[in-house]
Structure 1
Amino acid sequence: MPRTPLPGQTAPDLHLPLIIGSKWTLAEQSPGAFTMIVVYRGLHCPMCEKYLKQIRAMYDEFLAKGVEVLHVSMDGKDRATKAHEDWALDPIPMAYGLTEDQAADWGLYLSKSMKEAEPDVFAEPGLFLVRGTGELYLVDISNSPFSRPDLTVLLDKLDFIIEKDYPARGTKAA
C-alpha cells in the first residue's frame, strides 16, 4: 500500500541506477532550486512518451530556473534505454529499476499488466519536486496514465515559488 510522503518533510531516500552505467542518489543532488523526479509507467505507455517528450522540449527552461530533472520507471535497463533513445530524451538522466518498495515509499500506485507489452507490475505516474535541502516540496501522483501535472503551469509558477520562497502546501496529515 502506498505511503504518501508529506510535503515539507524530508523526501524518502532514493538510490537508482542510470542507463549510462552510473548511480543516482537523491541525497547527493544539489540543484539550484529543485530536483524534479518524474516517474513514468514504462516503455509500453504512449501517454508517457508524449509527456516525457514535452519535458524534454522544456528541459532548458527548467534548468534555467534551477530545476534538475530525472526520469525513472520500474522498467529494466534495456526497456529504459529504448525509451530514452526512441523518445529522444537525451540529455535528461534516465534511471531504471524502481522497486515496489521504493514506489510505495513515494506514495505511487502500482498496476498489474493488462496486456503483453506491459511489465507484470509497474508504477503509475508521479511528479515530485525536492529542494536541495532534501525537503519534499511538491507531490503529484496519479492512478492512471491520463492525469498528470500541466508542465506549462508548473514552469510558469516556478519563478513565483522561488522568488517568494513560497512554502510547501499540504503539510498537515489527514
Structure 2
Amino acid sequence: MPQLLNPKSKLPNLDVPLVEGGQFNLADAKPEYFQFIVIYRGVHCPKCKNQLQEIDAKVADIRADGMDVVAISMDNEERAKKAVKEWELENLPIGYGLSLLTAKELGLFLSDSISDKEPKIFAEPAFFVVKPDGTLYAEFVQNTPFGRPALDEVLSGMKFAAENDYPTRGTSVA
C-alpha cells in the first residue's frame, strides 16, 4: 500500500527529462514560494488532458505569483510527446519517465492496464506543493482519475499561503 509523505518531509529526488529538452530536477527548482508537481496518468487519460490544458493556460499567472509548475508521468518519451502535441500544450513543462521506484517513494497509487491504450503500469494522479527548500507543503494523492482538486482553489490557497507565510499544516504528532 502506498504511504503518504509527511508534511515538511523532503521529497525524493525527482530528476526526469522534459519533452521540450533538458531536465526537471527538483533540487534545482528555485521558485520564490512553491513548486507544483503534477503527476498525471499518461496520454491515455482524458481527465489528465483536461487538467493539463487548464494548467497550461495558467502557467504565466502561476509564475507571476512566484510559483512554478511541471507535469510528470511514467509515460515514455514517445507517449509524452504525443500528449504535448495532441493536447496542444504550449506552456506547461512535461516530464516523462518517472520510475516505478520514485513513484513508490512519492506514495503514489499505481494501476495495471485495463486496455491496450494504457501502459502496463502507471501512476494515478497527484499534485504536490513543494517549498523552495524541497520540503512538502501540501499533497493531493488519488487512486482514481476522478475528483481532482479544483485548480483555482489550489492556486488561490497557495497564493494566500505565500502572501501570509501560512505554516505547513498536518504536522502535529498528538
| Aligned-residue offset at 1:11 | 1.8
CA distance in 1, matches of 2:63, 2:21: 23
Alignment length, in residue pairs? 174
Cα contact 2:69–2:93 (8 A) shared by 1: yes
| Aligned-residue offset at 1:62 | 1.0
Q: Which residue of 2 aligns with 1:122?
A: 122
CA distance in 2, matches of 1:9, 1:80: 29
Q: Which residue of 2 aligns with 1:16?
A: 16
Structure 2 regions of 5+ residues with no counterpart? none
Structure 1 regions of 5+ residues with no counterpart? none
CA distance in 1, matches of 2:169, 2:107: 17
For 1:11, give the aligned amino acid: L
Q: Mean alpha-carbon deviation: is it higher for 58-67 or for 142-151?
A: 58-67
TM-score by length of structure 1 reads 0.94
| Aligned-residue offset at 1:2 | 2.1
How do residues 65-80 of structure 1 correspond to structure 2 at under 5 angstroms?
65-80=65-80
| Aligned-residue offset at 1:145 | 0.3
Q: Which residue of 2 aligns with 1:54?
A: 54
CA distance in 2, matches of 1:68, 1:48: 19
Cα contact 2:130–2:137 (8 A) shared by 1: yes
Q: Mean alpha-carbon deviation: is it higher for 158-167 or for 39-48?
A: 158-167
User: For the aligned residues, what is the CA RMSD?
Assistant: 1.4
CA distance in 2, matches of 1:35, 1:25: 11
Matched residue SS, 1:115: coil
| Aligned-residue offset at 1:89 | 1.5
Cα contact 1:17–1:97 (8 A) shared by 2: yes
TM-score by length of structure 2 reads 0.94
Cα contact 1:74–1:123 (8 A) shared by 2: yes
How do residues 140-151 of structure 1 correspond to structure 2 at under 5 angstroms?
140-151=140-151
| Aligned-residue offset at 1:91 | 2.1
Q: For each residue in 1:105-134, what CA deviation from the matched residue of structure 2 results, as whole angstroms up to 9, or x when unmatched?
A: 111000000011000000000000111111
CA distance in 2, matches of 1:168, 1:76: 34
For 2:13, give the aligned amino acid: D
Q: Which residue of 2 aligns with 1:86?
A: 86
Cα contact 1:6–1:173 (8 A) shared by 2: no
CA distance in 2, matches of 1:3, 1:25: 23
Q: For each residue in 1:34-72, what CA deviation from the matched residue of structure 2 results, as whole angstroms up to 9, or x when unmatched?
A: 110000000000000001111112222211111111011
